[in-house]
Structure 1
Amino acid sequence: MRHGFIKVAAATPDIRVADVDYNKGQIIKQMDEAAEAGAKIIVFPELCITGYTCSDLFLQDILLSSAKKALVEIAEHTKNLDALVFVGVPIAVGGELYNVAAALNHGNILGFTTKSFLPNYGEFYEMRQFRPGPKKAEKILFGGKEIPFGPQLLFVENQMANLIVSAEICEDVWSPVPPSIEAAREGATVIVNCSASDETIGKASYREALISGQSARLISGYIYANAGEGESTTDLVFGGHNLIAENGTILAEAKRFSNGIIYTEFDVQKIANERRKNTTFTETQEHVLPRIPFGLEQTETILTRTFPSRPFVPRDDQERAKRCEEILTIQAMGLKKRLAHTHAKSAVVGISGGLDSTLALLVTAKAFDALGLERSGITAVTMPCFGTTDRTYQNACKMSLKVGATLREVRIGDAVMQHFKDIGHDLQDHSVTYENSQARERTQVLMDIANQTGGLVIGTGDMSELALGWATYNGDHMSMYGVNASVPKTLVRHLVHYYADTCEDSSLKEVLYDVLDTPVSPELLPPKDGEIAQKTEDLVGPYELHDFFLYYFLRMGYEPGKIYRIAKLSFAGEYDDETIYKWLRTFCWRFFSQQFKRSCLPDGPKVGTVALSPRGDWRMPSDACVALWIQNLEKEAGK
């Protein structure tokens, strides 16, 4: 349960309608199996001790007394299990019959959560046998003990502060105001649902949307355990469609029409962090719902859920293409507004033949098309200097002409050497001064050409570079509008690839493909044998790692030790542990030390959930100390 991870399970046992002893045995069997697998929260379907489809047999005392006895025996069995278990059962109280979810832990019945909304339409007629639970929880005498009984009971783990569990039953989540809303507002981070939802055409997809949507709305984990094969098929079929979702994402889903158990792990630490960030999710100040303590051993959770190694890039081809088109449109529309507002006569883009400037040029062309302007108004400037290779130079020129921009070439070597002379810098000294002088000269050229043409300088730097501070302050760091500012490097590549795949110009496509094959480099050091001598990823690390670190650091709020833990799983077979540690440490150090560059970023459009604009998503003091984060990483890595 370290780092807030807890293993959970949704189980659908084989049952026989009204055969309580058989059902009890099957529930215990699956309970043992789930606990053996490490599940700490185990959820069973609605009325599974008797079967949901008993109909008027629910009015028979023999069934109810047998169910009560079975529940006590199931609860007794949990004495040897380390889990919080929810089981559906009918309970008679005060002359009325209620559909409840019993919460069991270490041999005890902790509480009975009652069903609030009873369906009495279509194929359902629950109000024939059952009554809605009370509006507020009370206590009932059961087995000689007083036990909480009612809606929205909160089960609070003794040692894991953020683990608060609440239950609802089937129809409750389909209602306009599910009980889980108030439970979440009082702190419940995990919602469980004991359900018996039958299968009809199209219902499964709606069910998935409902559960994922509810988990997103509540910023919670949601465990949905559904009745399956074994229920009566007199009029209905139940498919055992179990679902486990976390904050809008389905983490695990059962194969329908096949009883069994599904597992995954919730990250309750992340859930709590997401709620803190979301100012529209407000917990109630006054806690009125019953809070019932339960205990779990603080054991290590073996992770089985996956963490995408390229979190910014959709795996599905169609979804990725859709995402690329949307991002290109957002970028272009942002630039379109800025060009129109400033009455700019041109847009000036520095073209290097690399990925970032290529994307900026393509976005600018899209913006000009949206404005109905001739693309010749785009001034593409290539500025060869000491590190420029023929490959990138040729690609920059060809691409600019194919897009329809006006190509200008300004060779900056003489100007930079004059600058070296002015400041007394040796031309053979290839230090940071040697590199940054070129970058700042290029920015000066672009700004002055923008003045000449009555235009704006379009920034090319991407979000990954901003996170690492891999930009020359007041050099490529500066522009009049940065179209790539919230696009991570791993996604830049896919955006250019998507444009190449969908453009109708075969020669432009050929150039773009070659750009994609070119190593990422600022080209500020002299080439070796005509080839790029300075490869960015050799210096600061692989961007696929840094984008992974950035996503889970900013979007999920993970500590470095936790990022290291999941990175080892996500990049198994690609990078060894020592390599991941090395570049994660580099990421932490650079992210903190380079904040001053992000504090004065030019404007640029936000395209995703992670962004670094000081005016929006990320505000951080430029002199914050990284020591705490480094110590956390070193501890996890055993350094």
Structure 2
Amino acid sequence: MGHYITVATCSLNQWALDFEGNRDRILESIKIAKEKGATLRVGPELEITGYGCLDHFLENDLYLHSWEMYASIINNKETQGILLDIGLPILHKNVRYNCRIISYNGKILLIRPKLWLANDGNYREMRFFTPWQRPRYVESYTLPRIIQKITGQVSVDFGDAVISTLDTVIGAETCEELFTPNSPHIGMSLDGVEIITNSSGSHHELRKLDTRLNLIKEATTKCGGIYLYSNQKGCDGDRLYYDGCSLIVVNGQVVAQGSQFSLDDVEVLTATVDLEDVRSYRAQISYGLQSTTTPVYQRVHVPIELSPHSLTFDFRAVPSKPKDIFYHTPEEEIALGPACWLWDYVRRCNGAGFFLPLSGGIDSCATASIVHSMCILVSRAAANNNEQVIKDARRMANVQDETWKPIDPVDFASKIFHTSYMGTKNSSAATRSRAKKLSEKIGSYHVDLNMDSLVEAVVSVFEVATGKRPIFKIFGGSQTENLALQNIQARLRMVLAYLFAQLLPWVRGRHTGGLLVLGSANVDECLRGYLTKYDCSSADINPIGGISKTDLKKFIGYARDEFKLPVLQEFLDATPTAELEPITETYIQSDEADMGMTYEELSVFGRLRKVSKCGPYSMFLKLYHDWTPGLTPRQISEKVKKFFFFYAINRHKQTVLTPSYHAEQYSPDDNRFDLRPFLINPRFTCASKKIDEIVEQYENGITENIQELTID
């Protein structure tokens, strides 16, 4: 006889410190779960506060407001009749914990603190919370008076326990615990826990999703069981985009998968599962033998049934069937992730849209294409009558007509997206033409201007003040003069960008709201420092700052076909150039020639430096095996030394990088992700000597071999 249970997990677009908004989205998810017949609902990690509160977690006010919101949730009649797993931070004995609260019908059953905290990469949970390092230990927690009045409870169990209903046993683990070698779900499964929940705040990185989903599947493949994974989605107010993709897995098989990128603030995923499938799956000798020796979890007993029709056959219950996991391609991830992030950012800061310096190159072209993708997502959501999206779009576009919907992405872009080609005498007709064509196709309000008079005015001020006038290197000037003349053009573009961002809405008849300035420096240029400090890469936010040039080119090829924008092929065919030096019959500035390395090489250097944690010496050794015989050891050593030299002397630029969408593990953003000093000896003398020794040994060996061959 089947023991059918309908369970629900959800992805919520929570926002750090938006207590009431977060509460309302939680309530909406509970309502939807109940409408779908679910008797268990699981939400994301720290869903009441939002996951990304960072140092706000150190403020006591946050804990007060969290309890106030929780009180209003369990006191709401619509939250009755369903087992709830809700996340919030809790102070216990003056120690801060990241917790789950399990409740039913307005009564708290258990507070379960997180055992293992995420504390690397983008995460600093140990800065805010303490891990509960007492496995299977439970003690008493005195509830705040505001909760006591509602539940009639003075204290509840606090610790690592599980919930035992009349028909099953439920355990909880939180985000990082899934990724640990000895995950809690192993011990819980061996102790008879049949349903395991995981509430997460996991962010998007290109090509990362399979790692997460494989671990979720593996959690029940060996031990059997039902696994409910809930994840936050949305920007949450910072560089990360939490990419949802909630999951329900039974015995290693996926029965329900949520969307990874969506403009829906609330997404509830349900599945009907059979407890008998778990019990049959576990009827194996190895499981039985190991389960007899596993430590026992304390059970919190609650006299309720999650499978209300378990005593009779329910003809209405239809078990959910297994399905294949869906993955987006990296090009689709670039089109969707940053677009959703941009939408969250602009609507929540009450912006009137975006301003982008459109240079006619790949990077600004990719940024414009991502905004175009955002407009397409908005139009699709509006066509599906997403009221929140429609409301936000009307406000952003300054449309007073209550019947208007942003169902045409080009029309919507014409109202909220502004671009400008800021040319000089060093600019080419080709880049100007490409920028104009692209703006016409995607619908941006475009301004085409020349800024030579502005550049001349600044240089003239310097000449009057010093009596000297710098000239470009190609005309006989020094490298110092050449660099200064390039930088002043780039920095003036930044000044103009902010001027236009503030005043273009006014020019168009709007007297409130400004535009967010978008940056367009890719992750490789940021890593190498191939940008001017405080130039037009300095902006409010940058959707491509964590994406490599190689991936951006692939994305442009995808966007060309998917968005039907043939003009993008012109950007792919063009040679990347900053156009900051004069163009002559014999010279055209090239990015890769200026940098002394290719973008593909930069990606390799970046991953070895950050992901593989290589210094110059270990990087050289790895590349020696990867790049020979195509390159000689001396050529490899020169490239490695050059990379680390420019990385070191430009490290200071990374301290002021525009906040960027985090998409790559080798991002050099040192505000949180890449904590390295910005004053480094660029020669790396110790490592360089060891590299030189290897090169000399190799070359001496080659010489000796040649001499031996000659003698023979």
Larger Rg belongs to: 1
TM-score, scaled to structure 2? 0.43
